Amino acid sequence: MKRSIVWFSCGASSAVAAKYAVKKYDNCEVVYCDTGGEHSSNKQFLKDCEDWIGKDITILKNEKYEDHFDVFEKEKYLYGHLGSRCTLELKKKLRIKYQRPDDIHIFGYTLEEKNRAEKFETFNPELFVDWILIDKQLNKNDCLGIIWQSGIKLPKMYDLGYDHNNCIGCIKGGMGYWNKIRKDFPEHFNKMAKIERKIGHSRFRDMETNERIWLDELPEDAGNFKTEPPISCDLSCGIAMNELENTDK
C-alpha cells in the first residue's frame, strides 16, 4: 500500500500539515529527524502533537553525531557554497535511507513558501510531494493560530521571538541572529566560537575586505535580528551537496 510521510520538524507548520495528512491518507506516517541540537521543549511539543493528530511520531537519529556542533567538529565543515553539512548528516541522509520510491512526501511549507516548494520539485523530480498547506492557502501565522487554538504550547524558541524552531545556534543565521543567541544561549554561542577557531573556518566575512569575522570577535551591535531573512533548515536544504552524499562518511 502506497505510503505517505509527513516530515515533522517540531514546528507549528509541520504539525498542522501532519494533522491534515492523517485525515487525508489511510497509510500515513509522521517522521521526525532528531538533530540533538534543538530546544528541550521540543520533546513535550512532540508528545502533545502525537495526542493531537492521533498518531505516534517515528523518530530518526544519526547516532554518529550528538548534535550539529558534533557534525562541525568531526567533518570540519560549517557552511559554504555546498550548503550546510549538518542538514545533510542529521536530516537529508536519514530521509533518503527511510523513504521508498513511491512514497508521497508532505512538508510543512506554507503559502508564502510557494516558490521554495517549486524549487524543491525542480531539484527533486523523483519525489511525489503533496503541498498540503499551500493547497489549503495556509500561511505561517495561520498555522501558529491553529496550534494556539488547539491548546498546544509551542516550543520555547517561539516564545523567545525566533520565527523557527531549528537547532540552537543554527549555522545559517545572520549576525543579528547570533547576537541574539549570545544573549539567550551564551553557552551555545561560546561553543560555536570555539569550534570556529578549532577548525579554522568562520561563518562570517567582511563584505569589503573579505577578511574573516570570528564569532568571538563579532561586535555586539552587528546585524539586525528583526530584519534578517528567515532561516531555512529542512530536507530541501543542501541541494548543491550531491557530491558529499556520495562520500563514505
Q: What was the pLDDT predicted at 136?
A: 95
Q: Do 189 and 169 contact (CB within 8 A), yes or no?
A: yes
Distance CA 28, CA 43 (A): 21
pTM given for the model: 0.86
Distance CA 51, CA 5 (A): 18
Q: Do 171 and 86 contact (CB within 8 A), yes or no?
A: yes
Q: What was the pLDDT predicted at 237?
A: 37
Q: What was the pLDDT predicted at 109?
A: 95
Q: What was the pLDDT predicted at 245?
A: 36
Q: How far is CA 47 from the centre of its chain?
A: 19
pLDDT at 6 > cutoff 60: yes
211 phi, psi to nearest 5 deg = -80, 150
Share of the chain above pLDDT 90, in %: 75
Distance CA 38, CA 50 (A): 18
Distance CA 109, CA 35 (A): 20
Q: What is the pLDDT of residues 54-65, one digit of tens each?
A: 999 999 999 999
Confidence of residue 77 (pLDDT cuts 50, 70, 90): confident
Q: What is the pLDDT of residues 198-216, one digit of tens each?
A: 999 998 988 889 899 999 9
Q: What was the pLDDT predicted at 249?
A: 35
pLDDT at 235 > cutoff 50: no
In one-letter notation, the amino acid at residue 43 is: K
Q: What is the pLDDT of residues 109-151, one digit of tens each?
A: 999 999 999 999 998 899 999 999 999 999 999 999 999 999 9
Q: What is the pLDDT of residues 219-228, one digit of tens each?
A: 999 977 776 6
Q: What was the pLDDT predicted at 206?
A: 86
Following DSSP, what letter does each residue of 140-167 receive, concatenated?
HHHHHHHHHHTTPPPPHHHHTT-SS---
pLDDT at 185 > cutoff 60: yes
With a CB cutoff of 8 Å and minimum separation 6, the contacts of 114 are 131, 134
Query: What would the mean pLDDT of 165-187 be, rounded to a whole number?
Result: 94
Q: What was the pLDDT predicted at 231?
A: 57
Distance CA 31, CA 41 (A): 18
Q: What was the pLDDT predicted at 192?
A: 96
Q: What was the pLDDT predicted at 240?
A: 30
Q: What was the pLDDT predicted at 34?
A: 96
pLDDT at 104 > cutoff 60: yes
Q: What was the pLDDT predicted at 229?
A: 58
